[in-house]
């Protein structure tokens, strides 16, 4: 049997402590974990695909996880997974609301390629409320995001908010 390759896909806009937790734990389950940074323009990203890939790469370097790489993609996830030789898709779950969507996606992906399994990892309890969308929203309103991202990601987000302008402050 060959090398077991997993894909952890997402927009990572920005990468959060929750993402890093799933990456750390997912990397233990496979020989090689590919972080697939997708474009997904429907999510109105704060950072470009290149900026997000660079951010994820930088954060992984500080974690000391050896068997993880970062690849950008703009394709159907299952096609990307096939091209990378992956046999596993890693997905993180924060709450029951995530499960319904992820369950539907896993079912559709299985219809597209039943040789690739989807595994779900529950986020650490302390990290479950963290969502990139909320991190950006808090930052855009001038709130402190230090509990949700690493210091370097916080600096990236604050710098981008300074460029974009805050939405308001109370």
Catalytic residues: 19, 43, 94, 132
User: Of the candidates 118, 126, 81, which has an alpha carbon nearest to the alpha carbon of residue 102?
Assistant: 118
User: Of the candidates 80, 30, 57, which has an alpha carbon nearest to the alpha carbon of residue 152?
Assistant: 57
The sign one gets for the Cα dihedral 14, 159, 143, 44 is: negative
């Amino acid at each position: 049997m060959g090398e077991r390759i997993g894909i952890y896909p997402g927009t990572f806009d920005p990468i959060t402590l929750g993402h890093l937790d799933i990456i750390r734990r997912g990397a233990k389950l496979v020989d090689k974990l590919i972080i697939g940074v997708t474009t997904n323009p429907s999510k109105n990203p704060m950072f470009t695909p290149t900026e997000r890939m660079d951010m994820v790469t930088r954060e992984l370097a500080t974690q000391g996880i050896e068997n993880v790489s970062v690849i950008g993609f703009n394709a159907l996830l299952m096609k990307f997974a096939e091209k990378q030789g992956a046999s596993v898709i890693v997905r993180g779950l924060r709450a029951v609301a995530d499960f319904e969507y992820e369950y539907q996606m896993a079912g559709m992906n299985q219809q597209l390629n039943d040789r690739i399994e989807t595994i779900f990892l529950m986020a650490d309890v302390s990290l479950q409320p963290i969502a990139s969308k909320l991190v950006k929203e808090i930052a855009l309103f001038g709130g402190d995001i230090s509990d949700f991202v690493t210091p370097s990601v916080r600096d990236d987000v604050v710098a981008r908010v300074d460029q974009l302008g805050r939405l308001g402050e109370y």
